[in-house]
Structure 1
Amino acid sequence: MKVRISAAWQRARIPLLAVAIAAAVTLTAVGLIQLIRICTNLAFHGVFSTAESAPGFETWGAWAIAVPVIGGLIIGVMARWGSPAIRGHGIPEAMQAIGTADSRISARVAILKPLSAAISIGTGGPFGAEGPIIATGGAIGSLVGQWLPSSPVQRKILLAAGAAAGMTAIFGTPLAAVLLAVELLLFEYRGRSFLPVALAAGTAMALRSLFHEPLPMFPYAFERTPDLPIAGGSLVIGAICGLLAVAVTKAVYALEDGFEKLPVHWMWWPAIGGIAVGAIGWIEPRTMGVGYDNLRVLLDGHLAVKTIAALAVLKFLSWWIALGSGTSGGTLAPLMTVGGAAGALCAHMLHGVPYLADFPIGLGVLIGMAATFAGASRAFLASVAFAYEATHAADSFGALLLGCGAAVLVSRMLMKETIMTEKLARRGLRIPSDYEPDFLHSLRVGTVMETRPLVAGPEETIADLADRLGTPGSPWHDVRLVPVAAADGTLLAVISRADLFASLEARPHATLLEAGVLRPVTIHADDFLSDAVDRMILHGIGRLPVVDRSASPKLVGLLTRRSILEARRHRQDMDRLPATSLTPATDAS
Structure 2
Amino acid sequence: MQPHLMPQRLYQWFKSRNFALNATDTRYALVEASLIGVLSAIAALILKQGVGWLGGWRVALANEFGGIVVLPLGGLILGYLAGWIIETLSPTATGGGITQVKAALARYPVPLSLRVAIVKLIGTILVLGGGLTLGRRAPTVHIGAALAAQLSSWVPTSPEHRRQMIAAGAAAGLAAGFTTPIAGVLFVIEELMRDVSGLTLETAIVASFTGAVVSLILQSSTLNLPSSLLELPDITFSALDIPFYLLLGILAGVLGALFNRGLLLSVKIQHQFNLPLSWRIGLMGMVSGIIIAVLPPFFRDNAGLRIILVTGELDWSRILLAFVAHFFLTILAYSANTPGGLFGPALVLGSALGYLVGDFEQFLTGTGTQSSYALAGMGAFFTAVVRVPVTAIVFVFELNTDFNIVLPLMVTCAVSYIVAESVSRGSLYEHMLHARGIYINEAATGQDFLSKLTASQVMESHVETLSSDLSLDEVLQAMSNSTHRGFPVVEQGQLVGIVTQTDLAKLKKVPGYTPLSEFMTRRPITVQAESSLSDVLYLLNRYQLSRLPVTEGHKLVGIITRTDIIRIEANQLQGDDTTINEVVPDPSYIAYQTRAPLAGEGRILLPLVNPDTATSLFKISAAIAQKQNQEIECLQVITVPKHSDPAQTPVITQHSRQLLQRTERLGRQYHLPVHTQIRIAHDRAQAILDTIRERHIDLMVLQWTDDNHSPGTIFDPVIDVLIRKATCELVLVKLGQEKEAYPQTLDKDATWLLPIAGGPNAKRAMELLPGLIKLYTRPRSPIIWLCQVFSPHKATPNYQSLEVAAKRLKEELERPVIPLPVRSQSVADAIIHLAEAETCDVVMLGVSREGLLVQVMQGNLPKMIAQQVKSTVILVRGKLDN
Indicate whether the TM-score tops 0.5: yes
Residue from 179, 186, 189 that aligns with 1:179? 186
Q: Does residue 1:215 correspond to 2:203, yes or no?
A: no
Residues 313/223 of structure 1: CA separation in 2 closer, same or farther (3 Å cut): closer
Partner residue, 1:490: none
Q: Name the SS for the 2:133 alignment partner.
A: coil
Query: What is the letter of the counterpart of residue 428 of structure 1?
Result: G
Residue pair 2:75, 2:132 contacting (<8 A) in 1 also: yes
C-alpha distance in 2, partners of 1:221/1:278? 31
CA distance in 2, matches of 1:437, 1:95: 13
Query: Residue 346 of structure 2 contacts residue 382 of structure 2 at CA under 8 Å; is this kept in 1?
Result: yes
- What is the match of residue 416 of structure 2? 407
Alignment of 1:158-169 (within 5 A): 158-169=165-176
Indicate if the aligned counterparts of 2:50 and 2:125 stay in contact, CA closer than 8 A.
Answer: yes
| Alpha-carbon offset, residue 84 of structure 1 | 1.9
Classify 1:3/1:280 alpha carbon distance in 2 versus 1 (closer, same or farther; 3 Å): closer
Give the counterpart letter for 1:273 in structure 2: M
Q: Which residue of 2 aligns with 1:547?
A: 683
Q: Which whole-Å CA distance do the structure 1 matches of 2:400 and 2:63 have between them?
A: 31
Describe the superposition over 1:358-382 as per-residue Cα deviations: whole angstroms up to 9, x where unpaired.
1221111111111111111111111
- Residue of structure 1 equivalent to 2:129: 122
Distance (whole Å) between structure 2 residues aligned to residue 5 and residue 148 of structure 1: 8
Q: 1:435 deviation in Å?
A: 11
Q: How many equivalent residue pairs?
A: 453
2:333 maps to 1:318:
no
Give the conservation status (yes or no) of the 8 Å contact 2:106–2:445: no
**In 2: Cα distance, 1:395 partner to 1:338 partner:** 22
**Higher normalized strand content (fraction of residues):** 2
How far off is 1:186 after superposition?
Answer: 1.8
Q: Kindly report which structure 2 residues correspond to 1:482-493, keeping only aligned pairs within 5 A, or say none.
A: none
Between the aligned partners of 1:126 and 1:426, the Cα distance in structure 2 is 23
Relative to 1, partners in 2 of residues 1:267 and 1:523: Cα closer, same or farther, differing over 3 Å? same
C-alpha RMSD of matched pairs (Å) = 3.5
User: What secondary structure sits across from 2:273 in the alignment?
Assistant: coil
Q: Indicate the residue corresponding to 1:133 in structure 2.
A: 140
SS of residue matched to 1:189: coil
**What's the CA shift for 1:324?**
1.2
The secondary structure found in structure 2 opposite 1:261 is: helix
Q: Is the contact made by 1:216 and 1:390 (CA closer than 8 Å) also made in structure 2?
A: no
| Contact 2:59 2:300 survives alignment (8 Å) | no
Choose 221-230 or 370-379, whichever is displaced more. 221-230
Whether the aligned pair in 1 keeps the contact of 2:97 and 2:142 (CA below 8 Å) is: yes
**What displacement does 1:153 show?**
2.0
Who is 2:32 aligned against?
17
**Do residues 57 (structure 1) and 33 (structure 2) align?**
no
Which blocks of at least 5 consecutive residues in structure 1 are unaligned? 47-55, 439-515, 533-544, 559-589
Question: 1:364-443 alignment to 2 at 5 Å?
Answer: 364-431=373-440
Give the AA of the match of 2:87. R
Query: 1:335 Cα shift?
Result: 1.4
1:304-346 Cα shifts (integer Å, max 9, x gaps): 0111011111112221111112221111001111121122112
The amino acid that maps onto 1:136 is I
8 A Cα contact 2:20 2:27, kept in partner: no
Matches of 1:94 and 1:305, distance apart in 2: 38
Task: Kindly state the Cα deviation for residue 392 of structure 1 after the two structures are TM-superposed.
Answer: 2.2
Q: Quick check: which one's helix share is greater?
A: 1
Contact 1:220–1:299, Cα closer than 8 Å, also in 2: no
Greater Cα radius of gyration, structure 1 or 2: 2
What are structure 2's unaligned runs of at least 5 residues? 1-16, 448-577, 591-645, 648-680, 689-701, 704-715, 722-882
Which range is displaced more, 426-435 or 174-183? 426-435
Rounded Cα–Cα distance in structure 2 between residues aligned with 1:311 and 1:121: 18
Q: By how many angstroms is 1:8 displaced?
A: 13
Question: Match of 2:810?
Answer: none
- 181-190 vs 206-215, greater mean Cα deviation: 206-215
**Contact 1:76/1:266 (CA < 8 Å) preserved in 2?**
yes
Determine which structure has greater relative contact order: mean sequence separation of CA pairs < 8 Å that are 6+ residues apart, divided by chain length: 1
Alpha-carbon distance in 1 for matches of 2:175, 2:249: 25
- In the other structure, the counterpart of 1:199 is 206
Assess if the C-alpha contact under 8 Å between 2:249 and 2:416 holds in 1: yes
Q: What residue in structure 1 maps to residue 154 of structure 2?
A: 147
Which position in structure 1 is the counterpart of 2:342? 331
Code of the residue aligned with 2:353 in structure 1: it is A
- CA shift in 2, pair 1:521/1:69, >3 Å: closer
Give the aligned partner of residue 572 of structure 1.
none
**Residues 61 and 429 of structure 1, relative CA distance in 2, 3 Å threshold:** closer
8 Å Cα contact 1:103-1:142 kept in structure 2: no
CA contact (8 A) 2:55 2:131 kept: yes
Amino acid at match of 2:205: A
Shift in CA distance, 3/136, structure 1 to aligned 2, threshold 3 Å: closer
Name the CA distance, whole Å, in 2 between partners of 1:234 and 1:437: 37
Are 1:378 and 1:408, in contact at CA under 8 Å, matched by a contact in 2? yes
CA distance 1:106–1:318, change in 2 (3 Å): same
Distance 1:8 1:325 in 2: 41
2:100 matched to which residue of 1?
Answer: 93
For 1:436 and 1:360, the matched residues in 2 are separated by 44
Shift, 1:554, TM fit: 6.7
> Is the Cα–Cα contact under 8 Å of residues 152 and 165 in structure 2 kept in the other structure?
yes
- In 2, Cα distance between equivalents of 1:405 and 1:26: 31
Q: Give the secondary structure class of the aligned counterpart of 1:329.
A: coil
Paired residue type of 2:174: M
Letter in 2 for 1:197: A
The aligned amino acid for 2:394 is A
Point out the more displaced range, 223-232 or 181-190: 223-232
Identify which of 295, 307, 315 aligns with 1:304.
Answer: 315
Summarize the Cα distance change of 1:281–1:42 in structure 2 as closer, same or farther, 3 Å threshold.
same
* AA aligned opposite 1:401: M
Moved over 6 A (4+): 2-9, 433-438, 550-555
2:48 alignment partner AA = I
Instruction: Name the counterpart of 2:609.
Output: none
**Percentage identity across paired residues of the two chains:** 22
CA distance in 2, matches of 1:192, 1:5: 16
Shift of 1:215: 1.1
